[in-house]
Amino acid sequence: MQPIDALAKVCGDVRPGEPAEGVLGVEPALVAAPKDASEAAEVMRVAAEKGLAVVPRGAETRLDWGTPPERCDLLVDTHRMDGLIEHAAGDLVAKAEAGQPMERLGALLAERGQRLALDVPLPGSTVGGTIATGASGPLRTLYGTPRNLVIGLTIVRADGQIARSGGKVVKNVAGYDLGRLFSGSFGTLGLIVDATFRLHPVPSAAAFVSCQVTGPEDAFDAVQTVLHSAVAPSALEYISPGTVAVLLEGVPEGVDVRARQIAELLGENAEITESAPDGWGRYPDGTTLIDVTAPPPALRDVLTTLGPETAVTWSGSGQGHVGVPTGSTPEKVATVLGELRGVLSRHRGGAVVRYAPEEVRGEIDVWGPVPGLALMRRVKDQFDPDHRLSPGRFVGGI
Amino acid sequence: MGSKGFAPEPISGIVEKVEPLPNEPLPDELGRRLAELLGADRVVTDPVRLRTYECDGLTNHRSTPGIVVLPDTAEQIAAIVRECAAAGVPYVARGSGTGLSGGALPRADGVLIVTSRMRRILEVDIPGQRAVVEPGVINLDVTRAVRQYGYYFAPDPSSQQICSVGGNVAENSGGAHCLKYGFTAHHVLSCEVVTPDGEIVELSADGPGYDLLGVFVGAEGTLGITTKITVRLTRLPETVQTLLAAFESIEAGGAAVSAIIGAGVVPAAIEMMDALSIEAAEAAVRCEYPPGAGAVLIVELDGPEPEVAAQFAQVERLCRDAGAFEIRIAADDAERTLIWKGRKSAFAAVGRISPAYIVQDGVIPRTVLPQVLARIDALSAESGVRVANVFHAGDGNLHPLVLFDDAEPGAEQRAEEVSGAILDLCIEHGGSITGEHGVGVDKSRYMPRMFTEADLDTMQMVRCGFDPAGLCNPGKVFPTPRLCGEVPGVRKGPHPYEGKADLF
């Protein structure tokens, strides 16, 4: 039996791929959209039988991240698995299917006064894609990234087995935490089908305090002032070309006082606003996006190295993004990347290219040094011995 | 191949297990090699001294280690692991030995690697809000080192005065304040790790590639041994406010917790004790909780002053609305300590009202607390086994203390049965068999009740990736080891020491 027929027997939505659906130019032979976890498991089982290379797809907001797959016989699209399975408001926990858009999940949770404390930098992103790419925004300074908020995960393995880890209680140390392992694994270990998150109450008040800084030294000082204060910001951002902005959340009387405290600390040009400053929670502009791990002391050096022309956003948690200007030559990108890595290695940080034009990708080392790569390969070999899951999309050709 | 490395760990039993002393107390080939590596004074083979390492904080599982080593450096640990791997001998890492699930239970046929000599705080980086410590560093010592700068290390397991950061990493330790601040996994940025291959690798939370750190933390020492830990430091809160509220019943206390959480307050801690545990605490430390209370609730808020002031008033009102007949507010640190004294002494205090007891650790969705407590009451009534209850009420983490008289034949068994039935209740209500003590050897037999075979098999795929030979703390977490298939680089010929000496 042909793969398409075998898949059609187990899944209600199977069709040939289209050129426009290419993953970084690699056109999928087939696209299957299972309606639930058990259909997804059947699809994966058939893919295993037929030896198909599988790339999971959510809303395609980050399908152009990483490196192209070596092959793509089957795109598994999660858009039909888009439900909120459970929202246990009293327990501050929700379980959503992988294909659910983050904004819709947010809206549903907000009806009960709660939220998943993850920003959505790219509109339309799904729950599964957010986990698979480890995506987050400014709130990571207080709440962390998907690895901190996923408390239970259901996946379909390469062989079609459904496996679950964690559960639906926040406090739980039974067994290995595959939620953290799968966060940022880019579809190379298995297909995420649903996730359970710990939630937080929507704060009753919020305010932004922003100030303009002039140069790396000034930015560093402003950030340090806020970090070591006791106002407990939810987010602390540097947004180029020269804004340091703080988000305060809590009860109205508290936020009021804290906003004034921060404004005083940041000096006379500080401004308190209800809405976020420009660029908040968005990736910087540019055709090459670099993800940086830059602990707070590294901010000054990063900004000095990059100069004022290159767009940067950075969070107080020590994570940020650099956008290399449109039109930069591959050599220019390679130089920027090399300098960044040089500076960041002194701060035990690093830089990974998330997306770049094809001609640039060929000239650069997308991942940089990867400590523990041998172990990663061995874990990959266990989960996907035939290397059929998003092959080539990840570090070291995984 | 040393078959001893693959000997299945005996499933933990009901009665205390004391394994016999090794037949060969003198250093054998492996012992001699370890002594060459570390110096003879860092290798313990004397049976009397070995006995002092026979258990961790959970004393009903005992096993005297074959050899104990006391390394000073990561390189030494790597060399020890390589020796063990070459000899096919299992090894177990141990920090302060305060674990409550037998996670660091030694192997009679193996090497126990004790990190207690690795106690240096290597770096304090306040601008970067982090510190680098060796695995044997005591949890509270991290806070002591950085408090002067206005910082602390947030995970605060109740053993924090003696437990090690390496142990916290292995167990993903929580503590009373993890409701707001999260677990060790959220406060560790990277770990230098000796892998089961004997290599030294740095695993970090946001480096390129898989988040191996995320799975390493909480893997109970089954994926390798951490030798250096970069922890995140947390800014000390501007203020801490604590109240104690007394209720006539657990139900009323539970209603107060629901109201507080429902109002969108995230307290730093909410702890609850029932009448029996209050009685025990009173007998032990005279904490003078309000007389006649069926339950007391301790609620602690921390953060910026204006924030805490507003929410604290709200919490106080919600407690009164739920029927609190007395509320005490700590005016200063001394009064706060007094409020916490009863709670912190609760486990040990139970010794005052019962000759022996089991500390259970289970989790339920917080909202089913009344139903589960009613079922625990029924279990207790049916069996005649008394159960005192202490909870981290905010996150549904129960610590039932199951009381028994160890002089009475069969009593321990009945207590074990009740204790196990409580875990079944947790699973039945969608909870977990452990919220913070870990699985270890103690609860591995319960894992199949919470997870399917495929779930456990999948978790063990990670283990097979790290430790295909299954020598790194084997017999913990999983009831049955997974076969890892082809084991790359593992010796298949005769054992290197075969015929030369008995291993231990």
Whether A223 and A236 have beta carbons less than 8 Å apart is answered as yes
Whether A40 and A34 have beta carbons less than 8 Å apart is answered as yes
What angle do the packed helices A252-266 and B305-321 form, to 10 degrees?
A: 170
A332 in B contact zone (CB under 8 Å): no
Q: Chain B residues with CB inside 8 Å of A228's CB?
A: 126, 150, 235
d(CA B94, CA B148): 30
What's this model's pTM, rounded to 2 decimal places? 0.94
Q: Does B282 map to a domain?
A: yes
Token pair for A179:
């939620």
Judged against a pLDDT cut of 80, whether residue B26 lies above it is answered with no
Does A167 sit within 8 Å of B430, measured CB to CB? Answer: yes
Task: Give pLDDT, residue A55.
Answer: 98
Q: Which amino acid is at B429?
A: H
Residues 6+ apart with CB under 8 A from B119: B134, B136, B137, B138, B141
Together in a domain, A70 and A134: no
Distance of CA A138 to the CA centre of its chain: 12
- DSSP-derived pairing of the beta strands B91-94 and B111-114: parallel
Q: Does A373 map to a domain?
A: no
B206 in A contact zone (CB under 8 Å): yes
Query: What is each CA distance from B382 to B141, B203, B390, in whole angstroms?
Result: 46, 50, 21
Tell me which residue range forms the domain holding A252.
205-273
Q: Does A396 map to a domain?
A: no
Residue closest to A177 by CA, chosen among A160, A196, A161: A196
Does B190 sit within 8 Å of A169, measured CB to CB? Answer: no
> Containing H/E element for B456?
helix B453-466
Together in a domain, A345 and A256: no
Report the CATH number that the domain containing residue A264 is assigned in CATH.
Answer: 3.30.70.980
d(CA A368, CA A168): 36
Q: Does B174 map to a domain?
A: no
Task: Give pLDDT, residue B15.
Answer: 36
Per-residue 3-state assignment (H helix, E strand, C coil) for B307-352: HHHHHHHHHHHHHHHCCCCEEEECCCHHHHHHHHHHHHCHHHHHHH
DSSP annotation of B220 reads T
Q: A260-294 in b/e burial notation, b at 16+ Cβ within 10 A?
A: bbbbebbeeebebeeebbebbbbbbebebbbbbbb
Question: Among all residues of chain B, which has the CA nearest to that of A185?
Answer: B210
A189 in B contact zone (CB under 8 Å): yes
Does A93 sit within 8 Å of B262, measured CB to CB? Answer: no
Residue closest to B105 by CA, chosen among B56, B153, B172, B146: B56
Whether B122 and B132 have beta carbons less than 8 Å apart is answered as yes
Counted residue by residue, chain B has a size of 504
Radius of gyration of chain B (CA): 23
Judged against a pLDDT cut of 60, whether residue B496 lies above it is answered with no
Task: Give pLDDT, residue A48.
Answer: 98
d(CA B151, CA B144): 9
Query: What is each CA distance from B407 to A120, B353, B355, B380, B431, in whole angstroms?
Result: 61, 14, 8, 20, 34
Residue closest to A226 by CA, chosen among A202, A210, A207, A250: A210
B465 in A contact zone (CB under 8 Å): yes
Residues 6+ apart with CB under 8 A from B406: B355, B356, B412
Domain limit, last residue, from B343, B365, B396: B343
Mean pLDDT of B207-225: 98
Domain limit, last residue, from A54, A79, A104: A79
Together in a domain, A124 and A162: yes
Task: Give pLDDT, residue B345.
Answer: 87
d(CA A76, CA A74): 6
Judged against a pLDDT cut of 80, whether residue B341 lies above it is answered with yes
How close is the nearest chain B Cα to the Cα of A348, in Å?
A: 10
Together in a domain, A217 and A192: no
Distance of CA B209 to the CA centre of its chain: 28
Q: Tens-of-pLDDT digits for all 398 residues of chain A? A: 999 999 999 999 999 999 999 999 999 999 999 999 999 999 999 999 999 999 999 999 999 999 999 999 999 999 999 999 999 999 999 999 999 999 999 999 999 999 999 999 999 999 999 999 999 999 999 999 999 999 999 999 999 999 999 999 999 999 999 999 999 999 999 999 999 999 999 999 999 999 999 999 999 999 999 999 999 999 999 999 999 999 999 999 999 999 999 999 999 899 999 999 999 999 999 999 999 999 999 999 999 999 998 999 999 999 999 999 998 999 999 999 999 999 999 999 999 999 999 999 989 999 999 999 999 999 999 999 999 999 999 999 99
Strand partners, A291: A321, A352
Q: Does A257 map to a domain?
A: yes
Report the CATH number that the domain containing residue A327 is assigned in CATH.
Answer: 3.30.70
Q: For residue A386, count other CB atoms closer than 10 A to its CB.
A: 12
Work out the end-to-end distance of chain A between its first and last CA atoms, rounded to an integer number of angstroms. 30
Tell me which residue range forms the domain holding B290.
237-343
Mean pLDDT of B107-113: 95
Number of folded domains in chain A?
Answer: 4
Judged against a pLDDT cut of 70, whether residue B25 lies above it is answered with no
d(CA B162, CA B151): 20
d(CA B294, CA A35): 50
Together in a domain, A197 and A211: no
Q: Does A379 map to a domain?
A: no
Task: Give pLDDT, residue B486.
Answer: 57
A350 in B contact zone (CB under 8 Å): yes
Q: Does A56 map to a domain?
A: yes
- Give the pLDDT band of residue B364 (cuts 50, 70, 90): very high
How close is the nearest chain B Cα to the Cα of A139, in Å?
A: 14
Does A227 sit within 8 Å of B235, measured CB to CB? Answer: yes
Q: Does B100 map to a domain?
A: yes
Q: Does B419 map to a domain?
A: no
Query: In this predicted model, which residue has the larger pLDDT, B3 or B456?
Result: B456
Per-residue 3-state assignment (H helix, E strand, C coil) for A66-97: CCCCCCCCEEEECCCCCCEEEEEHHHCEEEEE
Q: Does B79 map to a domain?
A: yes
A352 in B contact zone (CB under 8 Å): yes
- Give the pLDDT band of residue B19 (cuts 50, 70, 90): very low
Report the CATH number that the domain containing residue B285 is assigned in CATH.
Answer: 3.30.70.3450
Token pair for A21:
């659906």
Which of residues 40 through 59 in chain A touch B, CB cutoff 8 A?
Answer: none
A7 in B contact zone (CB under 8 Å): no
Q: Does B315 map to a domain?
A: yes
Question: Among all residues of chain B, which has the CA nearest to that of A394?
Answer: B209
Whether B30 and B500 have beta carbons less than 8 Å apart is answered as no
Q: Does A228 map to a domain?
A: yes
Report the CATH number that the domain containing residue B51 is assigned in CATH.
Answer: 3.30.43.10
For chain B, the average pLDDT equals 90
B371 in A contact zone (CB under 8 Å): no
Residue closest to B467 by CA, chosen among B197, B211, B210: B197
Mutate to test the interface with A, among B180, B211, B305 (most CBs of A within 10 A): B211
Together in a domain, A298 and A347: yes
d(CA A138, CA A280): 8
Judged against a pLDDT cut of 80, whether residue B436 lies above it is answered with yes
Give the CA diameter of chain B: 76
Q: Chain A residues with CB inside 8 Å of B127's CB?
A: 224, 227, 296-297
Q: Does B272 map to a domain?
A: yes
A26 in B contact zone (CB under 8 Å): no
Judged against a pLDDT cut of 90, whether residue B498 lies above it is answered with no
Domain limit, last residue, from A26, A45, A79: A79
Whether B426 and B84 have beta carbons less than 8 Å apart is answered as no
Domain limit, last residue, from B290, B324, B343: B343
Query: What is each CA distance from B181 to A34, B171, B220, in whole angstroms?
Result: 38, 16, 21
Percent of chain B with pLDDT over 70: 91
How close is the nearest chain B Cα to the Cα of A16, in Å?
A: 31
Together in a domain, A101 and A138: yes
Number of folded domains in chain B?
Answer: 2
**Residue of B128, B309, B465 lying closest to A382 (CB–CB):** B465
Together in a domain, A54 and A102: no
Radius of gyration of chain A (CA): 22
Task: Give pLDDT, residue B442.
Answer: 95
pLDDT digits (tens, 9 = 90+) for B160-197: 999 999 999 999 999 889 999 999 999 999 999 999 99
Together in a domain, A195 and A211: no
Q: Does B374 map to a domain?
A: no
